[in-house]
Amino acid sequence: MEFRIRPVCLGDAKDINELRHMPGVFENILGIPSERLKKTEDWISKLDNYTHEFVAIITDESGSERVVGMAGLTVFGNSRLRHSAGIGIMVHREYQGNGIGRKLMETLLDIADNWLMLVRVELSVFVDNLKAIELYKKLGFDIEGTKRKAAIRNGEYIDEYVMARIRNT
């Protein structure tokens, strides 16, 4: 499957908002059913230099672009945490399993390793999100611990793993 990765832009907001509401994505991220398009637009327009946000794009025959994935890396603002960042990622349900998630993650890790020279990249993932956990492990992340009842999902409290990747310096 052909896709390309580029930095996010304001015009991506509608597609991103749809992704965040989509079954197959929604249950594994911290969205809420009432989330409005305006929230996504505001979030994109307020992105600062600490956040490096990318989208995966496919282009149809007429040349119009569609966002089928998104991933971002946010460097922590506290001076003593500046060697660390957090990561978030999602891929459109119908396009999962085509290497888009891996490419988005590799894009973030290239920035982390080679352009920011970060030491620690971390994330949280629901303990039953096996697909994501497998992807993270393949890219060098280890499970550091379990946050019990860390989030609400469809009427239940669910545990999260904290995972991190330490770059050997």
Q: Please give the residue ranges that form the binding site for ligand COA (CB under 6 A).
A: 25, 28-29, 89-91, 96-102, 123, 125, 129-132, 134-135, 138
- Between residues 38 and 131, which has the closer beta carbon with respect to ligand COA? 131
Question: Which residues lie across from 143 on neighbouring strands?
Answer: 163
Q: Shortest approach of ligand COA to residue 99 CB, angstroms?
A: 4
Q: What's phi and psi for 150, nearest 5 deg? A: -75, -25
Q: Which is nearer to ligand COA, 134 or 144 (CB)?
A: 134
Rounded to 5°, the CA angle 157-27-106 comes to 115
Contact 70, 90 (CB under 8 A): yes
Nearer to ligand COA, 82 or 99 (CB): 99
Smallest distance, ligand COA to C-beta of residue 169, A = 26
Query: Measured from the CB of residue 70, what is the shortest distance to ligand COA in angstroms?
Result: 9
Cα distance between residue 80 and residue 160, in whole Å? 25
CB of 126 to ligand COA, least distance (A): 7
Nearer to ligand COA, 71 or 118 (CB): 71
Closest residue to ligand COA, based on beta-carbon distance = 101
In angstroms, rounded to a whole number, what is the distance separating the alpha carbons of residues 119 and 169? 8
Environment class of residue 123 by beta-carbon count within 10 Å: exposed (0-12), middle (13-18) or buried (19+)?
Answer: buried
